[in-house]
Structure 1
């Protein structure tokens, strides 16, 4: 789990490498075009490697829950004490997400689509489901997906007169759906409508009209389903099955999820869209998370690879998340102030963003390695 979490946080931090900037400087390179694509989110439908960061982080919260609950129970903590801890953790995650999104703003920026905030909103329910039976948990998983899908479908789809330009979407945008799938169009769906009411309840510099990326508060509901999927996988891990059996289970579960998500889209029932976390996305991304976990389980627990750098990052995932949001620009500016730009252009001007980002990543890793060596781990 720590190595997988470290891989996820490394993907997030690797945005500093700015593959897109290198690609723009070298537009004819297919390698940089591919890397830039995998380091950016899809516009609406589909998935890149970068799109798997948030579902993986959420999934792993669920995987870790059975271990956390068992550890606290072994220490003699009561249900009430554990639930209070879950509520406290939830509040901290919500507020931390808002705080990080408010940096460089003129005032508190109340938004709830940040990864930490989304996890925090659903965490108390995840904790309660952690005490439910396996059958009850799968039932809750299904109800979340069906209920979320039904809520979207019952909300009126945009008609031909809908002003997409007013919500930041070109009228001729190629990602528009028709028929039942039109209920999941960008900034014209249930989640967008909810936010035009909910987010305007908070102090704002200007009224909220739409999110430029189409992200929404209500995504915390299906994000809970992703965490529940992780919870079930965490239960499998605690059963201490034979390695080959566990690998087969993870691979099979991943295959079911991926195929299930694609079928929902191919049948016109629900598209695979991360930005509003559709039920099809829960299944598709959840399947890929199972495969990624299977890969790291095989590498570390079966074949004996250590992958220590990833473990160092994974064991302080909250620390690196906060550091990247708060001081990445400070580190980069410090490099330029004290060394100028010439040392970062040694491979050519096109690679300056890459070298600057690589050295910034190295600084972050050294900080985490120092914390790891001194057993300093930030936990919420």
Structure 2
């Protein structure tokens, strides 16, 4: 826990990160999973919805913030070892937090919970991408990082579309039989994968390789924003150019390596990274360049305590369920009696999700007003 001066931060980045956390909380907490508006659902497989962009946007901003938080310290090679150890500690902490959240939700004997613990996950991928991108940022030049990103995206494309799967399947992009699914079953076993599948995982091991590319995309953008030898107008213009170019290349690549969030395909990396760059360019121009900051705090409260807000949004339903209610869980009872009777099914589901966003937001407002920023 530490206090940070707002002058040290890129306000537009906090706003965009806050919007991403709010969106993540919204889509993860509907009142009824059978009644969700289409933009608030993930694509069934190939393709991309607004919800599919939330996670890559966050990873992109992990890369951008890496530049802003590490640039000064990394200038002195004597700091490198300490910085890498700090990144390693944060990676391990995030993974442990994710596993603790899962155990918090399990109502089975502890040993059984451990034997069915999902090893991969959202926080785990964030942790791995953060650590690897941090090491690459600390120890490598931008040119080396660019080559690493290119090899990662092209290499992943080759692995997924040309190399036969060792279990006898030809190279394919199907959920249960692709190379990534085979690797996850081999390394983790079926008891430790995504509970809705047990045969593959959307945050699997092999998919972390292109996800690193998403983080490196953010580092490149952050390095550009940090340049003191370019005017703001030039920065914004070129960010739009970079973003549009990435989207165009992604749409071309989509013709033979489909945009797919669950597989985190290389085309998805460029598509989401391009849109994130465009969004950050607009936000940077609007807030940091034009100075429109009056209402920024509404989202900044999420952005400056992003991991805290993420964790709270993830466990909020479990916390509500501690309220004693006869016959059902408290969260279910409150939805069925306090929301569902007054709206159509789709609107009721949305209203419940909005309530969870507000309930997550209020503690973040308190932390923001107290200038408390919890870091892991």
Please say whether Structure 1 and Structure 2 have the same fold, judged by a TM-score greater than 0.5: yes
| Structure 2 unaligned blocks of 5 or more | 1-12, 324-329
CA gap of 1:302–1:193, structure 2 versus 1, over 3 A, is same
Shifted more, 105-114 versus 7-16: the winner is 105-114
Work out the CA distance in 2 between the residues paired with 1:276 and 1:73.
Answer: 33
CA gap of 1:92–1:251, structure 2 versus 1, over 3 A, is same
* 1:284 and 2:271 aligned: yes
CA gap of 1:77–1:43, structure 2 versus 1, over 3 A, is same
* 1:33-182 map, 5 Å: 36-73=37-74, 78-105=79-106, 106=108, 107-108=113-114, 109-131=116-138, 132-156=140-164
CA gap of 1:198–1:110, structure 2 versus 1, over 3 A, is farther
Q: State the TM-score, normalized to the length of structure 1.
A: 0.81
Aligned-residue CA RMSD in angstroms? Answer: 3.2
Work out the CA distance in 1 between the residues paired with 2:247 and 2:278.
Answer: 10
Greater RCO (Cα-Cα under 8 Å, separation 6 or more) = 2
* 1:358 and 2:354 aligned: yes
Among candidates 336, 340, 344, match of residue 339 of structure 2: 344
* 1:261 and 2:250 aligned: yes
Shifted more, 367-376 versus 110-119: the winner is 110-119
Is 2:62–2:218's contact at 8 Å kept on the other side of the alignment?
yes
Aligned position for 2:209: 221
Is 1:119–1:220's contact at 8 Å kept on the other side of the alignment?
no
Q: Secondary structure at the match of 1:41?
A: coil
Q: Deviations over 1:156-198 (max 9, x none)?
A: 2699x97xxxxxxxxxxxxxxxxx9x62222111101101111
Q: Deviations over 1:224-274 (max 9, x none)?
A: 1100110111101110432221111111111111111111122x2x11111
Q: How far off is 1:363 after superposition?
A: 2.1
Work out the CA distance in 2 between the residues paired with 1:150 and 1:90.
Answer: 28
CA gap of 1:47–1:288, structure 2 versus 1, over 3 A, is same
Q: How far off is 1:283 after superposition?
A: 1.0
Q: State the TM-score, normalized to the length of structure 2.
A: 0.81
Is 1:257–1:287's contact at 8 Å kept on the other side of the alignment?
yes
CA gap of 1:352–1:124, structure 2 versus 1, over 3 A, is closer
Work out the CA distance in 2 between the residues paired with 1:19 and 1:327.
Answer: 13
Is 1:98–1:114's contact at 8 Å kept on the other side of the alignment?
no
